[in-house]
Amino acid sequence: MNKTEFCKILNNVETASRFEDNISKLVRNFNHSIKSEVDWYGFGTILADDVINLLSEIMHDSSQDISYFCWELDFGKNWKHGMITNEDGNDVDFSSAEKLYDFLTRRRKK
């Protein structure tokens, strides 16, 4: 898989995730205003997890770095220097999908 495809897919996962978050907030606010218990369980999270699992398989990501990038680092937005280091103690930059892709391809070549 090339970098452009990888980044496009992760961007689509992020867009879907943000959309689902907004729908969930809307439903919560609606429930509160009408004193209802309508539940929202979006399919986006299930599909996003499947997409991430497929990307992990394609990219040979046995360490689950893609999942970490998406969910823990909020698609790189929460990455800070010193959070992730390699075996030599050097920073590993997960601030963007492009940098994640570069890291995964370098690691695979070792």
Say if CB 13 and CB 99 are below 8 A apart: no
Give the residue ranges of DSSP H helices in the chain.
Answer: 3-34, 44-58, 65-67, 97-109
Which whole-number Å values give the CA distances from 52 to 24, 36, 71, 103, 110, in the listed order? 21, 34, 10, 16, 23
Say if CB 94 and CB 65 are below 8 A apart: yes
Q: What is the pTM of this model?
A: 0.81
What is the arithmetic mean of pLDDT over 97-110? 92
pLDDT tens-digit profile of 72-95?
999 999 999 999 998 899 999 999
Range of the domain at 87: 3-109
Say if CB 95 and CB 76 are below 8 A apart: yes
Q: What is the pLDDT of residue 42?
A: 60
Q: What's the mean pLDDT when you consider all of the chain?
A: 87
Instruction: Pick 41 or 94 by higher pLDDT.
Output: 94
User: Which amino acid would we find at residue 89?
Assistant: G
Number of domains the chain contains: 1
Q: What is the pLDDT of residue 108?
A: 87
